[in-house]
Amino acid sequence: MFEPERHVAPAYRAWDAAEARAAIAEIADDALAALDPATLWQTHPQDNVEGGTGSIYFGAAGVIWAIDRLRRVGAIAVDRDLASLVPTVLARNAPWYAQTMYPEHGSLLMGELGIRLVEMRLAPSAALADRIHGLATASNDLPTVELMWGLPGAMLACLHMQGLTGEARFVALFQTQAARLLSELEHTDRGPIWTQHLYGKQQRWLGPVHGFAGHMAPLLRGWAWLVASQRALVGDTAARALAAYAVRSELGANWPHAADQPAKLCQHCHGAAGMVTTFADAPFSAPEFDALLVEGGNLVWHAGPLAKGSNLCHGTGGNGYAFLKLHRRTGDARWLERARAFAMATIDQMREARATYGRGRYSLWTGDPGLALYLWDCITAEPAFPTIDIF
């Protein structure tokens, strides 16, 4: 059901909201202290990116967005001009991104599209909205890929931009892209699925970063912009796929990273946690569908905290979002208790990692700022997965 060596024995402590707030402040203060306006933040050894990036995923844009988000929700008090950093972020990301496999894609998590969204949040302008619209539109003529690099990420950008600007053109672009995405859905003997042409390979991935759940995320979040037939297709596809690819046991349910592979991982990016976090927001319900989500949450709990640390993508904080989403969907208090148990474990993991490396990890999806946002959502019990659910 999962590989135990990827997890650590839980050492849960009682929930302490004051300690969670202190950890958030600690993370923000450390990130701001480590900021060099000329070079931004040093890449963490665990991220293994020589020279660093400006990306949302594990670069400077994500850190800036996290600090601003924490400031906007009242979690921290920061008087810092973050918008002035964006030109440096763009300059730092450009040479790195040009060497990736997808230099023509805007890319929500890795490329200019995501960075420009951060800029739009900090210093909005009509010209910037035009640039973002152009970057998102370019995805129409490029390979779909997946959420990190391609079309589903552009669709999320449209959702975020409509929220920031109210402009109808982002709704229209989303609808064009949704039609294309649904036209590429494959109806196999086992169940509905998309094939990702990713990193030179063809694979039917399932998770929310590279696979099926990532394709479904913008369709679920943009539900109001779909026509009735599309809603029916999305609802039916979600229910059938979750059931078709689930691996069930007395511990709960897990999903493999790819349709033809065994279920080994239990993380946000691959496995039960990310599937639950994505589909617990579905604007529809059915007994079997909801039962599978609960079984997925149980598997995440039985697996325990992740050995890779406190981060969102493949760490304990990301897995904790599955509990927060189930709490909101079901109203069952045990899910909030489990989320907060994971939160206390993540604080310990973060501090252990800092002691080991002598520094923080300045990254949204793989580092401390993402953890700070998870801790805040545990305090408020109002989950919003960073840069996917909100921007």
Nearest CA among 194, 102, 92, 169 for reference residue 139: 102
Is 187 one of the annotated binding-site residues?
A: no
Is 158 one of the annotated binding-site residues?
A: no
**How many helices and strands, by DSSP H and E, does the chain display?**
14, 6
Report CA torsion sign: 361, 367, 369, 374.
Answer: negative
**What separation in angstroms does the CA of 202 have from each of 73, 198, 218?**
41, 6, 22
By CB neighbour count within 10 A (0-12 exposed, 13-18 middle, 19+ buried), where does 11 fall?
exposed
List for the chain the helix, strand, coil content (%; round to 5).
55, 5, 40
Report CA torsion sign: 54, 310, 268, 48.
Answer: positive
* Non-local CB neighbours of 225 within 8 Å, separated by 6+ positions: 171, 174, 175, 178
Half-sphere exposure of 42 (CA within 13 A, CB side): 10
Is 378 one of the annotated binding-site residues?
A: no
Question: Amino acid identity, residue 224?
Answer: A
**What separation in angstroms does the CA of 225 have from each of 61, 158, 306?**
29, 11, 37
* Non-local CB neighbours of 113 within 8 Å, separated by 6+ positions: 106, 107, 132, 135, 136, 153, 154, 157
CA distance 115 to 103: 15
Which residue ranges are tagged as binding site for Zn(2+)? 269, 313-314
Which residue ranges are tagged as binding site? 269, 313-314
